Structure 1
Amino acid sequence: FTFRKQDVCEKKQADPVHRPITRRFAAQIASTQQNRAEGTKKSNLGNSNGFGEVIFVDDEHKPTDDQPVPMTLEQTEPVHNELDQMEEVEMEDIIDETVLDIDICDANNPLAVVDYIEDLYAYYRKMEGSSCVSPNYMTQQFDINERMRAILIDWLIEVHDKFDLMHETLFLTFNLIDRFLAKQTVVRKKLQLVGLVAMLLACKYEEVSVPVVGDLILISDKAYTRKEVLEMEKLMVNTLQFNMSVPTAYVFMKRFLKAAQADRKLELLAFFLVELSLVEYEMLKFPPSLLAAAAIYTAQCSIYGLKQWSKTCEWHSNYSEDQLLECSTSMVDFHQKAGKGKLTGVHRKYCSSKFNYTAKCEPAHFLLEDSL
């Protein structure tokens, strides 16, 4: 499946002053000069023009076999050789046409930081390893397990939705929880407190308006005191060494959705799938960038009913379709089971009109069949 350039935005035309001189383009310049000269023959020396030196050769001045052959541009009689039969292209067109420039529409938007957006995401990819945790860190916990973690995260997704917080806050909250639990043993009666404090810290980092400590105490049914919340906050920031600036799956989602030219439907389904994955402890083995790319790939398969991963998506995500399949099939499985069992917080959230009833979208069953 190939996107046309017109489907995204018009390609910016190259500045003719800096345009590479191709055989065809130079021949056009030469033809114009020849008409002005009204029949005067060009010599085999280059004539200076606004585009640099252009060399022309007449039939009367063909080089002999023992002379070095200069770069030439024939104006009249075509030479029937393999080079002349090739279509002339500019240097900028050598790159695969299917890899679209997704930032060209934001060239005048200073908030899009087009000049260094690629460097920014290269840095995110380099640093995402430091934000990941061991996929078996629960083995060092003696009083909590994977199921308890899933219950906590499923509940926090609902809390996040009730407070109407930003997407960034949700992803950072879960990152803080896992990084903290990977370094600090916690008894089960304090696990909910860990989740509340992680959300409080994420709000302080991402939100403009932060929930007060009293609100967090109320939603926990007053299970904790203000003093306990503040003590846990102090313990968490010290354990994490105040490092809150980590690339989560959210930052990769935004970039990869742009590469996929996603509409609202695709965006919501991709976020539904990635949030289902956040609940599952087993998905910690995948880095945030892979999780984001797989969610978008799976969402595309669900909506279009066929495998679809464009060259543009592959280029910007640095993941091929084959690299996404393991994670993607797991997401399809979660999608199928989302409305069943006890942990249905994500499903209920995306079954609402606020999220366009996204959870009711049919899963990409064929991905599971192909993996068998």
Structure 2
Amino acid sequence: MTTRRSLRSAPADLPAPRIDAENEPAQPVGKQTLATKQKLGKPRAALIDLSNAIEKGKKNITKLGVRKGRVHRVAGQQQQQQQSGDSTQQAPRATDAQPRGALKPRAGVKRSAAGAAADGAVKKARKLRSIPTLPDLRVSVSVTRLAEGSSSTSQVSAASSSLASITSEETTGFETPPEGNSPESERAADLVSRLNAENERRASALPEGVIDFDSEAAGDIFAVPEYVNDLFRHYKEREAMCQVAPYLGTVQTDLTEMMRSILVDWMVEVQESFELNHETLYLAVRLVDLYLAQVEVSRETLQLVGATAIFIACKFDERLPPPLDDFLYICEDAYARREIIATEMKILRTVNFDVGLPVSYRFLRRYARCCKLPVEVLTLARYVLELSLMEYQFVSVAGSRLAAAALALAVHMRMPGHFEQIKATVEYFSGYSVSEFQDLTEKLHLMLGREPNPHLKTIRAKYSHQVFHKVACIPLLRQAPSL
């Protein structure tokens, strides 16, 4: 069973063991000395392994709870640390020891054996925290080809040094490779010409008035312009396979639309408090609808289904999903651990373990990027789309069509008169004509103009904050826009 180890439980009164890399005898595989065990501390359970989850009552565990409708962190960890500070001194966090992303020493700097061993222990403790964020990465796109039949190290080095590094800086074309008669230069020139020809073919195939976003992002490896159209075409094909049929009054006889809206409002609150991705929220709501469309659920276990759906979505979308104890605590210990695990297995069997579902939020971001809309318009569209999660009337609507309607309404509210300029782009990348989502735009407009329910305040309060540009406070249109 795989476990992760922590430095927090290492006793401070023991002297650091002296490590000599040259004279230290080799240890058998799977065994550790006493000094090594004392240095690494007790094993910490893996988040994904439910059978080895963190037990209740352990010290230094920050739990999450619900008070007055809000999910908060329970204070008290700092007091425990002060009380035990005289007898036990905790090891410093790995993030305080070195700056983020500094995993290796600079070239040419020699490290002692003791320092290298200490760094190795620190790396184990901060294994999941050492992944740099996107702003920390500096990526250049390079095209490299090795000469055929080159097996020795010298031949590989010679072939690699003669290739051209192609870097894109928001241009539609590629730089011309260096001139030469070598086979490597000819191959690089042929590759560049084929890439430029592909960009020209793609641009010529676009209808008039469509923004060629993929060609402009040809050098961005995160935009993957070579595959992005195929990816979203695959998402749209899967929408028909994952469509949810209306279930209230048929499969679910004990539930109402208001109960479902309250559950989704609570799930949004959990997503905001746990600081989860937006994709996690949309996936969790989709899992709930798919499960309710096939399995009858009582109102007493509805929250259990919602919490378990978020737990599954976190495992799929989050880099570091919250542990199971946190989900038990936000439910105020109304359910046992075995109930969440059993519900997780039921949901996964119901969806046939197919968790990679297409969600409307992914389509919305794609449309906004292709139309080059500012973040204020995208945030307003996100607000409209997130409000639609609580509406039962949109359960059976395809996410790609709903995202196009939310984007069109947001553009009319934030940038009046600009929709005509991006109309062709929205139709091309969404695959729908404006007449196909005109009715959805009218329904979303009526949803925004409805009197807010006092029991459903989370989303409106969330998007009334300055962080989200206060888009919930924007005045509504007098009537639904005519697309």
TM-score (norm 2): 0.56
Question: Which residue of 1 is the match for residue 414 of structure 2?
Answer: 303
Q: Does 1:337 align with 2:450?
A: yes
Question: Which residue of 2 is the match for residue 350 of structure 1?
Answer: 463
Percent same amino acid among aligned pairs? 31
Q: Quick one: distance in 1 between partners of 2:202 and 2:299?
A: 62
Q: Output the amino acid matched with 2:237.
A: K
Rate the CA distance shift 1:160–1:281 in 2: closer, same or farther, 3 A.
same
Rate the CA distance shift 1:233–1:91 in 2: closer, same or farther, 3 A.
closer
Q: 1:125 pairs with 226, 232, 236, which one?
A: 236
Which string of whole-angstrom CA distances, capped at 9 and with x for unpartnered residues, describes residues 97-134 of structure 1? 41121112321122222112111111111111122201
Matched residue of 2:258: which SS? Answer: helix
Question: Which residue of 2 is the match for residue 216 of structure 1?
Answer: 327
- Given that 1:152 and 1:195 are in contact with CA atoms closer than 8 Å, whether structure 2 keeps it comes out as yes
Question: Which residue of 2 is the match for residue 267 of structure 1?
Answer: 378
Q: Quick one: distance in 1 between partners of 2:269 and 2:202?
A: 52
Question: Which residue of 1 is the match for residue 115 of structure 2?
Answer: none
Q: 2:297 pairs with 182, 186, 189, which one?
A: 186
Q: Which has the larger radius of gyration?
A: 1
Unmatched segments (≥5 aa) in structure 1: 1-8, 16-89
Rate the CA distance shift 1:360–1:338 in 2: closer, same or farther, 3 A.
farther
Residue 285 (structure 1) shift: 3.0
Q: Quick one: distance in 2 between partners of 1:181 and 1:358?
A: 32
- Given that 1:338 and 1:347 are in contact with CA atoms closer than 8 Å, whether structure 2 keeps it comes out as no
Q: Does 1:203 align with 2:314?
A: yes
Counterparts of 1:91-240 in structure 2, within 5 Å, are 96-136=207-247, 138-240=249-351
Of 266-275 and 209-218, more deviation after overlay is shown by 209-218
Residue 254 (structure 1) shift: 1.6
Residue 179 (structure 1) shift: 0.4
Q: Quick one: distance in 2 between partners of 1:332 and 1:211?
A: 36
What is the total number of aligned residue pairs between the two structures?
288
Of 145-154 and 108-117, more deviation after overlay is shown by 108-117
Q: Quick one: distance in 1 between partners of 2:172 and 2:310?
A: 43
Matched residue of 1:221: which SS? Answer: coil
Unmatched segments (≥5 aa) in structure 2: 1-169, 177-200
Which string of whole-angstrom CA distances, capped at 9 and with x for unpartnered residues, describes residues 19-48 of structure 1? xxxxxxxxxxxxxxxxxxxxxxxxxxxxxx
Q: Which has the higher helix share?
A: 1
Of 119-128 and 92-101, more deviation after overlay is shown by 92-101
Q: Output the amino acid matched with 2:429.
A: H
Which string of whole-angstrom CA distances, capped at 9 and with x for unpartnered residues, describes residues 167-190 of structure 1? 110110011000011111111100
Rate the CA distance shift 1:92–1:205 in 2: closer, same or farther, 3 A.
closer
Residue 95 (structure 1) shift: 5.2
Q: Does 1:322 align with 2:435?
A: yes
Q: Output the amino acid matched with 1:351.
A: S
Question: Which residue of 2 is the match for residue 293 of structure 1?
Answer: 404
Question: Which residue of 1 is the match for residue 140 of structure 2?
Answer: none
Q: Output the amino acid matched with 2:246.
A: P
Q: Output the amino acid matched with 2:351.
A: L
Residue 356 (structure 1) shift: 1.7
Which string of whole-angstrom CA distances, capped at 9 and with x for unpartnered residues, describes residues 189-228 of structure 1? 0000000000000000000111111111111122111121
Question: Which residue of 1 is the match for residue 479 of structure 2?
Answer: 366
Q: Quick one: distance in 1 between partners of 2:296 and 2:366?
A: 35
Matched residue of 1:332: which SS? Answer: helix
- Given that 2:236 and 2:400 are in contact with CA atoms closer than 8 Å, whether structure 1 keeps it comes out as yes
- Given that 1:276 and 1:338 are in contact with CA atoms closer than 8 Å, whether structure 2 keeps it comes out as no
Which string of whole-angstrom CA distances, capped at 9 and with x for unpartnered residues, describes residues 53-95 of structure 1? xxxxxxxxxxxxxxxxxxxxxxxxxxxxxxxxxxxxx996685
Residue 154 (structure 1) shift: 1.0
- Given that 1:154 and 1:345 are in contact with CA atoms closer than 8 Å, whether structure 2 keeps it comes out as yes
Q: Quick one: distance in 1 between partners of 2:270 and 2:343?
A: 19
**How much is the aligned-residue C-alpha RMSD, in angstroms?**
2.4
- Given that 1:272 and 1:358 are in contact with CA atoms closer than 8 Å, whether structure 2 keeps it comes out as yes
Residue 306 (structure 1) shift: 4.3
- Given that 2:308 and 2:343 are in contact with CA atoms closer than 8 Å, whether structure 1 keeps it comes out as yes
Residue 342 (structure 1) shift: 2.5
TM-score (norm 1): 0.72
Q: Quick one: distance in 2 between partners of 1:279 and 1:110?
A: 35
Of 226-235 and 294-303, more deviation after overlay is shown by 226-235
Of 334-343 and 96-105, more deviation after overlay is shown by 334-343
Of 347-356 and 275-284, more deviation after overlay is shown by 347-356
Q: Quick one: distance in 2 between partners of 1:142 and 1:150?
A: 16
Q: Output the amino acid matched with 2:232.
A: Y
Of 333-342 and 138-147, more deviation after overlay is shown by 333-342
Q: Output the amino acid matched with 2:456.
A: L
Residue 137 (structure 1) shift: 5.0
Question: Which residue of 1 is the match for residue 357 of structure 2?
Answer: 246
Matched residue of 1:154: which SS? Answer: helix
